[in-house]
Amino acid sequence: MFTSRTLPRMILIVSLLMTFALLMGCASPTPAVAPTAVPAAPTIVPAIPPTTAPVAATTAPTAAPKAVQGGHISIAMWSSPDSFCPVNQNSSYGLFISGIIYETLLRYNEKLEFQPRLAEKWTISADKTVYTFNLNPKAKWHDGKPVTAEDIEYSIWIISHPKIASNRGNFISMIKGLDGTKRKEGVETVEGVKVVNPQTIQFTLKAAVDPVAFLENIGLNVFIMPKHLIKDIPADKFLTDAYWTKPVGAGPFQFVRYQTDQFVEMKRYDDFYLGRPNLDTLIVSIINPATMVAQMEKGELDMVAAGGIGDVPLNDWERVNALPNVKAYSYTADGYQYMIVRGDKGKPWGDKRARQALMYGINRQVMVDKLLKGQGMVANGPIIPVTPYYSKATEGKYPYDVAKAKALLKEANFDFNTPVNFIIPTGNAIRELHGEIIQQNLTDLGIKVNVSKMDFTSAMTKYRAGDYDLALVGWGGPLDPDVRSQFATGREYNFSGLSIPAMDAILEKGAITADTEERKKVYAEFQTMFLDELPIIPLYWQNRLAAVNKRVVGASHMAGTNNLLRNVWEWSVTDGK
């Protein structure tokens, strides 16, 4: 038996923070400003630590005084959560709230090592097909009931329900007994999920899986729900039931209220199983990016969520670095921006030559140089550069070349007489600006463009309905390279409608390959195929710009939108206010 104590560590050689010298080496209209109080760059080690150790206390970027009890923190993000139901949240805004209210089996620490959460220890069979998790007996729901293995089982049961739409399915698809991500009609149990006893849950997989992949998928990306409170909600009403307007979790803070499009208020849960949180309340505010820094300057906001859902606007980067009450820093993260293309049969971008033309015809480098002021890099694929699966051979492909783009459009018999519908979501100021660059680039290619701007939730509704030709979105998914949810035929985030059987096959192979070194080879092959087929148009990887009021103790940003929250119960404020 492998255990979380004995599984060898896989070292990923990478830095999460770009140095100031590198930033200054990028072309930009305004020189980049050196971040102040930048935390030291950790080495990424997505390994499995000893299971008997308590959750490791994370450290702030600078030495911190003893935690003070009481007070509140206000965190800013750009857009409203679309839902409080963790089964089918369409955006990272909703998932960020879930990361506070709900719990998962595991969490990352600041070195991206797996750490115990609801699961205080775990074991892995020698053939890597059976994973057993032992739960923390102190864990309780916000109504005081104990968290048990039946809650874990039921959460998987809900996600796999054939009549409940869920975008968490990709994370459980390796479990034995599932047809893709769902149970077959009439099947009321998941074969590969077993409640051993109230504190022990066991997963049996269809085939051997890389433990790093499974532990991230199941451990970090499946929020556990209270069976005793939701088991009677009918499947056809599950996602819209009134219960989700005031959800109950097992996290360090419990839901109080949501003031629509303004803020989500949460209060301390005194019986949190890892210790009573220091703060009394936590407020997540929905803030216009244009006013974010001004509110931080006045002390009305304590920190930004960063992580692609609430970064400091680039135009305010110099200003926020100069604030005496704020600690600001830049870090490399997991998110990238891209353009989705409606590419199913009969649509303008169904021919891959037309998609290749977009790659040549959109000036992505100017987005990095001008819009990001060098705080990022051009993206040529969806595999996160801070992982060992990333292929550097993708870099430098598809340089800006208008003549080449026009030639490819001509080869593809593109219809220049019919306008294309281009959706630009509002709320992310940089995305809105790169949308304008794309609009001009398309016009330069001779393409007629009808632009629609709308809030992110409305845009997502359009994407799911296929009601667009071109559209913008960002991605901040798991660090594991399994991207089937975006690109496999018919999957949750495959908005293009494209079906590429060869890509389906290689993605499936990557998902079931248990050996890490072999998986690297599979995903290198995938990235080569991706650059030919281009199911999306990747734009750039953007550095995250974070800012935290100096009265806040114990909070620090890192790769992954929700990883900021890894020790939220330990946060405090020096003044207790």
Cα 519 to chain centroid distance, Å, stands at 21
The residue type found at 61 is P
pLDDT tens, residue by residue, 256-289: 999 999 999 999 999 999 999 999 999 999 999 9
**Residue pointed to by tokens 């874990």:** 152
The least confident of 18-22, 312-316, 393-397, 558-562 is: 18-22
Q: What is the pLDDT of residues 205-233, one digit of tens each?
A: 999 988 988 999 999 999 999 999 999 99
What is the distance between the alpha carbons of residues 335 and 300, in angstroms, rounded to a whole number? Answer: 28
Q: How confident is the model at residue 65 (pLDDT cuts 50, 70, 90)?
A: low
Under the banding of pLDDT at 50, 70 and 90, the label for residue 314 is: confident
Coil vs helix vs strand at 326: strand
DSSP code per residue over 252-298 = SEEEEEEETTTEEEEEE-TT-TT---S-SEEEEEE--HHHHHHHHHH
Reported as half-sphere exposure (CB side, CA atoms, 13 A), residue 358 has a value of 32
Strand ordering across the sheet containing 130-135: 2-3, 119-124, 130-135, 200-204, 193-197
Reported in sequence order, the residue ranges of 93-186 that DSSP labels E, i.e. its strands, are 106-108, 114-116, 119-124, 130-135
Sign of CA dihedral 279, 477, 331, 77: negative
Instruction: Quote the CA–CA distance of 362 and 138 in Å, as a whole number.
Output: 54
d(CA 263, CA 178) in angstroms, rounded, equals 38
Instruction: Spell out the domains of the chain, with CATH numbers in brackets.
Output: 2-56+83-241 (3.90.76.10), 244-333+544-573 (3.40.190.10), 336-542 (3.10.105.10)
Q: What is the pLDDT of residue 111?
A: 83
Per DSSP bridges, beta strands 536-542 and 470-475 are unpaired
Report d(CA 48, CA 211) in Å as an integer: 9
Cβ atoms of 106 and 136 within 8 Å: the answer is no
User: In this model, does residue 515 exceed pLDDT 90?
Assistant: no
Q: Nearest CA to 340 among 395, 420, 417, 400?
A: 420
Percent of the chain exceeding pLDDT 90 equals 75
Q: Rounded to the nearest 5°, which phi and psi values hold at 553? A: -115, 130
- Per residue in 457-480, pLDDT (tens digit) is 899 999 999 999 999 999 876 788
Give pTM, 2 decimals.
Answer: 0.71
Task: Tell me the mean pLDDT in the region 513-528.
Answer: 93
**Total Cβ atoms within 10 A of residue 373:** 22
At 20, the pLDDT band (50, 70, 90 cuts) reads very low
One-letter identity of residue 265: E
Work out the mean pLDDT of the chain and round it to a whole number.
87
Q: Using CA atoms, how far apart are residues 302 and 324, in angstroms rounded to an integer? A: 13
Instruction: Look up residue 285 and give its two tokens.
Output: 């505010």
Q: Tell me how far apart the alpha carbons of residues 300 and 258 are, in angstroms, rounded to a whole number.
A: 18
Helices (H), 466-500: 484-487
- Lowest model confidence (mean pLDDT) among 178-192, 326-340, 358-372: 326-340
**pLDDT tier, 73 (very low <50, low <70, confident <90, very high otherwise):** very high
Tell me the C-alpha distance between 21 and 19, whole Å: 5
Q: DSSP class of residue 175? A: B
| Residue 557 near residue 544 (C-beta atoms within 8 A) | yes
284 contacts 97 by C-beta, under 8 angstroms: yes
pLDDT of residue 66: 73
Strands 281-286 and 72-77: parallel
**Distance (Å, whole) CA 170 – CA 179:** 12
Question: Residue 284 contacts by C-beta under 8 Å, 6 or more apart in sequence?
Answer: 74, 75, 76, 77, 96, 97, 100, 263, 264, 266, 305
